[in-house]
Amino acid sequence: MNRSSETILSVDGSKRVALAIADMCPNAYFCLFTATDDGRKLPRSKAGPGVSMETNKADLYTPDEVRAHDRLADNNYWGLYMHEPLTDMFDSAVLTVLDVDLKRSTSTTDMRIQRLAKWAKDHDHMAERSHSKKGRHVLFLAKPSTDILPKYKLQDHQEIEVFGQPNSPKKSLMLTGDMLTQDAINNQDVDVAALIQELGIQAEPEQKKPQPLLLVNYTAQPDDLQKAADALRHISPDVDYAEWIQLGQALHDGFGDQGHDVWSRWSQQGEKYQGAKDLDSHWKSFNASKGVGLGTLFHMAKQHGYTQPTTQSEQRTAVQDFMQRQQATQQPDTQLTTQPEPTTGWQEMDYSLDHLPSVRYIIDGFLAHGLWVIAGQPGVGKTTVLMSLMMTITNCLTDQAIHASKPRKIVIVTEDADQLIRGLYGYSRHFKIDPQLIINSVVIIRAKRSTLPEILLLEQNVIKHTIDGTRPFLILDTANATLALENENDNSEVGAYMSGLKQTIYTILDTPIAIVSHMNKQISRTDSDAMARGASAFTGDATGTAVIFADEDGSRYMRLIKRRYEPDFDEIEFTTETFTALATSPEGDFIETVCRVMTPLISSAEQRERKAAEASSERQGQRSMDRADEACIYVQSVINHSPNGLVMRRGKNPSRNPPSDMSGCARLDMADVLAAVPGSSRGDVRKAVIEAVFHRFAPTSSMNEWVRLS
């Protein structure tokens, strides 16, 4: 077979593989690959060269477009976009590809790879030979598993790369159709972890997670350009041409001309480097529309062993920097470049037992100075409740049963500043508070998801709004909108944030903090003992926790859960009042807007339970009255349709038939009445219905007799 015929068959096979994937995974996206004579594989979308996570989906090919596409030109192949999981038509498994790579090996094929080939054949799984003719792709469906590594390295540069699983590399895979074994994807799910074990492949030991926050010698934080250069050093400059282009494009997109020198210095270290002229010509072709950004560079570097600075390591640096600046402020003549090694052990406290230190209350008898985590379900009114507390703490709201021990300012970082401003307007209007007093007392900052270094910059706001030595109350509303957590369930990550805030702004600046959080979704809005959603470090590292909840009638409460003191009361009820005001739209139109204000009152679990019982009893009484009225209306309608009169047996002992003087009357049984009025057949409601019917239509009747209803 000549080369031209072999290429045509391979291209046809490429489409066969793409169609098999399209039939099994309707949500798949495809791209094109061009194979060059020097062995490079260049992916491209409809928009041009390069395919990455940033590529617009509209520039990729859908399954229907693959089916309708004409025969590809020589040396062109279909490619599978594997930057996202590809679920099967039943949405129960993901397409998984094992990519066997033998290009750099000089040894015979590893026995484990031979076992993989036999396993694929024995179980009728689709497999194809790779473009290099030195590897294979094995395609099957599997359950996603985070236990699967992105790559398994075997002997003499032989390796198996796993695509499609949660930890897999995000790439596009060139489909050759060469030596294709099946025309369809086997719909039987595979346990990949069990398969790896069956093949005799040992997983590399998992790297330990970063340790919790520790104070070590201060080191300067590298800028983004230096981070990119550090990451690039983990990648061989002799990577495939397409990857080399992507890395250059990423540097161009992220840093402009500054990135050119980094790309040039790195490229010069490789055997494929063809000189500055060649590199410059490629650099000039880069532009922002290529769809490749810095994320591509860091992702590729991670696949080659690069460990990006973690949230924890950045947090350590941020805390160290904060402490260094604090010491520099206290010792302005000392230039600190590192944290001095301790020479006399830890700092020991001087204290006295001549008097009993009192609790430092922010709200007298209730909320003390601390690092608080306040949780509540979405929609329960956390921000509205906070506004009532803010008005109390700032002493803008006076003459209340609940008041601040010492007025202080509020610095609130909020995800909905507009809602907060509308609420503060409501308090100003309803309670006739001077608007300027509120503006001077409440500092509003729009929330953004921030790293700890950015969060600790709030120290400047804290210092700025300290009055006569009294620190403001710092509120982060909410944790999700403020803390840039990659995984809110990771205790190590959350703990680093909490430790950073606790050691710095809370401890060193002696500033009270409240972090507002959502509850777990499965917890009821009325659960008064619920805790914050996410890692236990949220509540474990806080000095106090509280929950905001609502009862069945919609009344809001705040209850202290974890605390290190005995308050005079541990629960507040918030009474709500609403009124309308005219707001002005950007177009100058007047819009009627509802304003809601709350007043805090001392409450308790016992008082709330008693109130709930009274409300339940009142609702039960109202239900009984409503069912009794419906029953009387029904009986009246029966009377109206009974021209000879209507009789009913009352009690349990009357005879089965009415007296002779009532024999011509229509009969009505109480069971018919109860059946005609839904919800009236049980308990107190039944009793109320019976009493109402006889009181209304036979007021002088006695028990155990037939009575005429009129």
* Cα–Cα distance for residue pair 670/689, rounded to 1 Å: 10
In a domain, 349, yes or no: no
Strands, E assignment, 369-423: 371-376, 410-414
- Angle, helices 258-267/276-285, rounded to nearest 10 degrees: 140
Q: Are 642 and 666 in contact (CB under 8 A)?
A: yes
Count of domains for the chain:
4
Give Cα separations from 158 to 121, 200, 429, 535 (angstroms).
21, 14, 74, 40
In a domain, 383, yes or no: yes
Across 16-20, 129-133, 360-364, least confident range: 129-133
DSSP category for residue 411: E
Residue 315 has a pLDDT of: 63
Q: Are 157 and 109 in contact (CB under 8 A)?
A: no
Q: Are 561 and 529 in contact (CB under 8 A)?
A: yes
215, exposed or middle or buried, with CB in 10 Å at 0-12, 13-18, 19+? exposed
Backbone phi, then psi, for 668, in 5-degree steps? -130, 130
In a shared domain, residues 683 and 636:
yes
Residue 209 has a pLDDT of: 36
Residue 11 has a pLDDT of: 56
Residue 187, SS3?
Answer: coil
In whole numbers, what is the pLDDT of the chain averaged over residues? 84
In a shared domain, residues 578 and 616:
no
Closest CA to 175 of 59, 26, 61, 297: 61
Peptide bond into 392 cis (omega under 30): no
> Which residues, including other chains, have CB under 8 Å from residue 300's CB and lie 6 or more apart?
235, 243, 246, 247
In a shared domain, residues 537 and 623:
no
In a shared domain, residues 146 and 250:
no
* Cα–Cα distance for residue pair 402/366, rounded to 1 Å: 9
In a shared domain, residues 422 and 294:
no
DSSP category for residue 238: T
Residue 327 has a pLDDT of: 61
- Asked whether the predicted pLDDT for residue 407 surpasses 90, the reply is yes
Residue 344 has a pLDDT of: 64
In a domain, 320, yes or no: no
**Cα 267 vs. chain centroid, distance in angstroms?**
40
Residue after which a domain boundary falls, among 243, 277, 309: 309
Residue 177 has a pLDDT of: 92
* Cα–Cα distance for residue pair 445/482, rounded to 1 Å: 11
In a shared domain, residues 703 and 631:
yes
DSSP category for residue 680: -
465 or 210, which is more confident: 465
Phi-psi region of 523 (alpha: psi -120 to 50; beta: other; left: phi over 0): beta
- Asked whether the predicted pLDDT for residue 293 surpasses 80, the reply is no
Residue 491 has a pLDDT of: 86
Residue 520 has a pLDDT of: 67
In a shared domain, residues 16 and 153:
yes
> Which residues, including other chains, have CB under 8 Å from residue 526's CB and lie 6 or more apart?
549, 550, 551, 552
Residue 97, SS3?
Answer: strand
In a shared domain, residues 119 and 27:
yes
* Cα–Cα distance for residue pair 168/95, rounded to 1 Å: 12
- Asked whether the predicted pLDDT for residue 650 surpasses 50, the reply is yes
Closest CA to 78 of 126, 10, 30: 30
Residue 7 has a pLDDT of: 40
Q: Are 88 and 187 in contact (CB under 8 A)?
A: yes
Mean pLDDT, rounded, for 212-237: 62
- Residue % of the chain over a pLDDT of 70: 88
* Cα–Cα distance for residue pair 661/209, rounded to 1 Å: 94
Residue 264, SS3?
Answer: helix
In a domain, 74, yes or no: yes
Q: Is the dihedral of CA 220, 222, 226, 228 positive or negative?
A: positive
643, exposed or middle or buried, with CB in 10 Å at 0-12, 13-18, 19+? exposed
* Cα–Cα distance for residue pair 590/600, rounded to 1 Å: 31
Q: Are 670 and 635 in contact (CB under 8 A)?
A: no
| Beta-strand pair 544-550/371-376 | parallel
In a domain, 212, yes or no: no
Q: Is the dihedral of CA 312, 306, 289, 254 positive or negative?
A: positive
- Residue % of the chain over a pLDDT of 90: 42
In a shared domain, residues 400 and 463:
yes
Residue 545 has a pLDDT of: 93
In a shared domain, residues 23 and 119:
yes
Backbone phi, then psi, for 636, in 5-degree steps? -60, -40
Residue 568 has a pLDDT of: 95
pLDDT band at residue 221 using 50, 70 and 90 as cut-offs? very low
Residue after which a domain boundary falls, among 582, 603, 624: 603
* Cα–Cα distance for residue pair 135/406, rounded to 1 Å: 74
**Predicted confidence (pLDDT) per residue in 23-49, tens digit:** 999 999 999 998 887 677 888 899 888
- Asked whether the predicted pLDDT for residue 340 surpasses 70, the reply is no
**Predicted confidence (pLDDT) per residue in 102-154, tens digit:** 887 777 788 889 899 999 999 999 999 998 888 999 999 999 998 899 989 88
In a shared domain, residues 519 and 649:
no
Quote the tokens at residue 106.
């000089």
In a domain, 352, yes or no: no
Residue 131 has a pLDDT of: 87
Q: Name the residue with tokens 């308990």.
A: 683
Which structural domain, as residue segments, surrounds residue 88? 3-199
Closest CA to 409 of 386, 442, 434, 437: 442
- Asked whether the predicted pLDDT for residue 61 surpasses 60, the reply is yes
pLDDT band at residue 310 using 50, 70 and 90 as cut-offs? low
Q: What is the CATH number of the domain that holds 501?
A: 3.40.50.300
In a domain, 249, yes or no: yes
> Which residues, including other chains, have CB under 8 Å from residue 539's CB and lie 6 or more apart?
373, 531, 532, 545, 562
Q: Is the dihedral of CA 266, 267, 270, 276 positive or negative?
A: negative
Mean pLDDT, rounded, for 489-503: 87
Q: Are 589 and 577 in contact (CB under 8 A)?
A: no
- Asked whether the predicted pLDDT for residue 707 surpasses 80, the reply is yes
Residue 161, SS3?
Answer: strand
In a shared domain, residues 193 and 240:
no
In a domain, 240, yes or no: yes
Residue after which a domain boundary falls, among 309, 332, 349: 309
